Amino acid sequence: MAVPRYWREIPQRYNLVGTKCGSCGKIYFPPKVVCPTCRRKSLGHMEDCALAGRGTVESYTIIYAPPPHFEGEEPYTMALIKMDEGCYLMGQVVDLEPQEIHIGLRVEACFRRIYEDGTRGAIQYGYKFKKMEEAETP
Ligand SMILES: [Zn+2]
């Protein structure tokens, strides 16, 4: 799994920046140029929108047979997270035992090393998720 060029090229690569449709208010991540719902109506009305990084686990899978670059990390957990802003992100959930994960778990984004490219020594960073620590104020 390659980290999109996007993360390396934009200065806000350590923030989760999506776009908000100025027409219907829906938030997208990764950013979109056009809202798939509003189409032409949204042109020129898509605005950058930083996500707070908090969400809820909707679905998950535990990886026992990892792809290259992730060997040695198994077992690890990949989850589909519904962000509080309404969009979905897929990411690794770190700092918890596989049996701790469950649907409905509140998580927050954190930035971690994704993998080290052995041949070039380049370290790729990106977002992962961890269990939300402090209690939330509703
Ligand atoms: Zn829209």
Q: Are 29 and 4 within 8 A, CB to CB?
A: no
Let me know whether 123 and 73 are in one domain.
yes
- Residues spanned by the domain of 103: 54-131
- The CA distances from residue 30 to 7, 17, 88, in Å, are 11, 7, 10
Instruction: For ligand 1, an ion, list residues with CB under 5 A.
Output: 21, 23-24, 35, 37-38, 42
Residue 7 counted as domain residue: no
Let me know whether 62 and 74 are in one domain.
yes
The per-residue pLDDT for 30 is 87
Let me know whether 67 and 126 are in one domain.
yes
Q: Are 58 and 80 within 8 A, CB to CB?
A: yes
State the residue for tokens 């961890």.
Answer: 130
Residue 81 counted as domain residue: yes
Residue 34 counted as domain residue: yes
The per-residue pLDDT for 1 is 44
Non-local (6+) Cβ contacts of 51 within 8 A are 16, 17, 18, 27, 29, 83, 84, 85, 87, 109
137: enclosing H helix or E strand: none
Residue 8 counted as domain residue: no
Distance 28 CA to ligand 1 centre (A): 10
Distance 36 CA to ligand 1 centre (A): 7
Neighbours of 107 (CB within 10 A): 24
The per-residue pLDDT for 11 is 46
Let me know whether 121 and 64 are in one domain.
yes
Non-local (6+) Cβ contacts of 39 within 8 A are none
Residue 101 counted as domain residue: yes
Distance 34 CA to ligand 1 centre (A): 8
How far is C-alpha 26 from the geometric centre of its chain's CA atoms? 17
Q: What is the pTM of this model?
A: 0.78
The per-residue pLDDT for 20 is 96
Distance 22 CA to ligand 1 centre (A): 7
- pLDDT by position in tens, the chain (length 138): 455 555 555 444 567 889 999 999 999 998 899 999 999 999 999 999 989 999 999 999 999 999 887 888 889 999 999 999 999 999 999 999 888 999 999 999 988 877 776 676 777 778 899 999 866 666
The per-residue pLDDT for 14 is 61
The per-residue pLDDT for 103 is 97
Domain count, the chain: 2
Q: Omega into 75 within 30° of 0, i.e. cis?
A: yes
The per-residue pLDDT for 133 is 80
pLDDT in tens, 15-49: 788 999 999 999 999 889 999 999 999 999 999 99
Let me know whether 65 and 88 are in one domain.
yes
Distance 46 CA to ligand 1 centre (A): 8
Distance 19 CA to ligand 1 centre (A): 10
Token code pair at residue 3: 């980290």
Let me know whether 44 and 84 are in one domain.
no
